[in-house]
Amino acid sequence: MSSPDTPALLVLVGPTAVGKTELSLQLAARLDGEIVSADSRLFYRGMDIGTAKPTPAERARIPHHLIDVAEPDQPWSLTVFQKAAAGAIADIFRRGRQPLLVGGTGQYVHAVTHGWSPPVAAPNPGLRSTLEKMAGEHGKDWLHARLAALDPEAAIAIDARNLRRTVRALEVILATGRKFSEQRGRGQGLYRLVTIGLTRPRPELYARIDARIEAMFAAGLLDEVRALLAKGYSPDLPTMSAIGYRECATVLRGEMTVERAKVQMRHLTRVFVRRQANWFKLTDPGIHWFDAGAFDLEEIIQLVGDSPKSP
């Protein structure tokens, strides 16, 4: 538990396309704040349109941290992110400003807010090879379903398309006989958390997702993916599995139409936002939820207003 003297960290969460960027800019402007991204898709240079990365104008208006910090073939682990985010937040506090941790990647948010440490089970190359072979024979979704049967909480947090993380979770479970989700260390809270969650009625959120996908293609998403491939980045990289990038790579190989890619992206994003919603409901009952289309900014400011910005 944190003490009254622990610095207050403002956390803003919610599903893709709900409106986190707009609110984070408003809050940072009002609270003399700086934004620390907890969106794992925003780490990588050259992946701008498909990740709905804050624009250069938005980033010039409010300082942002942990955006464009790695190349697409240099994936950041949860541990690397956790250390970098803690450093960025500490630096913002030292300068007397208010940090805002913003993102929809639940595990990355909790790694910072709850002091997570990864499971300590040693790698088991033989078991890992067996699991990867099973995925090759039956498919990623089949292997992810096995994870869901053994550890539903871990399965909610891990994208079924992320074979590396699915395999690691199953490897830990099968090697130790314990759930992967129960083996993450949780340290003492470093901050007093003020966690704001944004939500919208599902039909409204889906309409925003559809409009965003159309806007991405109009802004040049295919050209962005073409440029990444031209630089030698494989479509099989973990970073290129982000929704939109793999579909566009398939389009560029002539194996899918643009319209079919859009359909696939809409479907995958809907699945993703449902998983995001389940994650936050399951893991954090202390979130203050607001309707993104009808919130009172002053009410949110009040939640933060009584909290000191520095130790």
Distance of CA 260 to CAs 210, 223, 257, Å? 13, 17, 5
* Distance (Å, whole) CA 291 – CA 18: 9
Query: How many domains, in total, are found in the chain?
Result: 2
Confidence of residue 154 (pLDDT cuts 50, 70, 90): confident
Question: Which conformational region is residue 16 in: left (phi greater than 0), alpha (psi within -120 to 50 degrees), or beta?
Answer: beta
- pLDDT of residue 189 exceeding 80, the answer is no
Determine, yes or no, domain membership for 1: no
Q: Is residue 2 part of a domain?
A: no
Q: How many CB atoms lie within 10 A of CB 302?
A: 10
Q: What is the pLDDT of residues 94-134, one digit of tens each?
A: 999 999 999 988 888 988 988 776 665 667 888 888 999 89
Q: What token pair was written down for 274?
A: 């449902």
Q: Could you tell me if 100 and 150 lie in one domain?
A: no
State the pLDDT at residue 244: 97
Q: Find the helix or strand (DSSP H, E) in which 199 lies.
A: strand 192-199
List pLDDT tens digits, range 217-265: 999 999 999 999 999 999 999 999 999 999 999 999 999 999 999 999 9
Is residue 161 within 8 Å of residue 140, measured between CB atoms?
yes
Q: Which domain holds residue 169?
A: 125-182
Contact indicator for 172, 183 with CB cutoff of 8 Å: yes
Claim to verify: residue 40 and residue 113 sit in the same structural domain: yes
Residues 171 and 210 grouped into a single domain: no
pTM score, whole prediction: 0.79
